[in-house]
Amino acid sequence: MSDVISSRLSGRRSQWPIFIALVLVAATIIYPLYFVLITSLRPNPDYLADPFGLPGTWSLENYVKLIQVYGVDRAFLNSLMVCSVAVVVVLVLASIAGYALAKLPVPGAKIVTGTFVSVMLLPAPVLIIPIYLVLARLELVGNYGGLILVYVATGLPFATFFLTITFRAIPDEVLEAARIDGAGFFRTMWSIVRPMGASGIATLAVLQFLGVWNELIFGIILIPDQSLRLLTPTLAGIGSRFVTDQPLVSAGLFVTASIPLLLLALASRYIMSGLQAGVSR
């Protein structure tokens, strides 16, 4: 393949040192994660006796403790639920808006895109006080509805921008043909825009899911009740209380990282292609 053909800076002979350097850099990423995984699978005394060796006793007791004492299973499921709902709502609203901005004569389109672009890079710390007060007034603090609403609002600007660009690539002739066949707005969205923009929509879905899964600050302030918190804020709480039990915290780390790692393994193609498109928050 083209892997070997185009060596731009150096000749082929000098590839080995470069390969070894890359392996070393990769090790700085892989080894800490390996260490976390191995540590999570052993009891604390076993870890303290020989931290760098393989476990003397393999055990799942840390994971059991996370579930029985800290309700991490509930937090995990709640996270999955909140992320899924937020991502689906963002995708639906952003698809509809993105299609209109890409292909229909929207009155005030400049105002809409201008607003979206100017709030896209808004850092969360600027928003926490007013959003908390607004949601408190609407009695949405402490339940998932308010949190989902905030995730949808913060996700929409980038999502709409991204899908507008994606849908612009759909040829006008195809849409015109659908119109002549009598397809209405939603029919066109479902049978033409959705399949033709599928890879863009998939990329966006993965990026948004990661964003919501990993979010911390709104997840803390909008769900004050510890027992209702989603997984990432729960982990932050466990992590800051149990400094001395490294295996327990490692298990929490692994549970929280599992879904993102799984997504990267399954959808690296989509994630890598979305990467050029934006530094989303």
Cα–Cα distance for residue pair 49/52, rounded to 1 Å: 9
Cα–Cα distance for residue pair 106/113, rounded to 1 Å: 11
Segment near another protein (CB under 8 A); pick from 55-63, 65-73, 128-136, 192-200 = 128-136
Contact with another protein (CB under 8 A): which of 69, 117, 169, 177?
117
Contact with another protein (CB under 8 A): which of 100, 148, 193, 205?
100
Determine the residue type at 82: V
DSSP tag of 227: G
Segment near another protein (CB under 8 A); pick from 54-62, 64-72, 192-200, 268-276 = 268-276
Interface map 35-74 toward another protein (x if CB under 8 A): xx----------xx--xx----------------------
Cα–Cα distance for residue pair 140/143, rounded to 1 Å: 6
Shortest distance in whole angstroms from residue 6 CB to another protein? 6
Cα–Cα distance for residue pair 253/41, rounded to 1 Å: 12
Q: Are 67 and 73 in contact (CB under 8 A)?
A: yes
Query: Per CB under 8 A, does 266 bind another protein?
Result: no
Nearest to 164 by CA among 100, 98, 103: 98
Cα–Cα distance for residue pair 107/101, rounded to 1 Å: 10
Residues 133-192 interacting with another protein (rule: CB under 8 A):
133-134, 136, 149-150, 152-154, 156-157, 160-161, 164-165, 172, 179, 185
Residues 225-244 interacting with another protein (rule: CB under 8 A):
232-233, 235-236, 239-240, 243-244
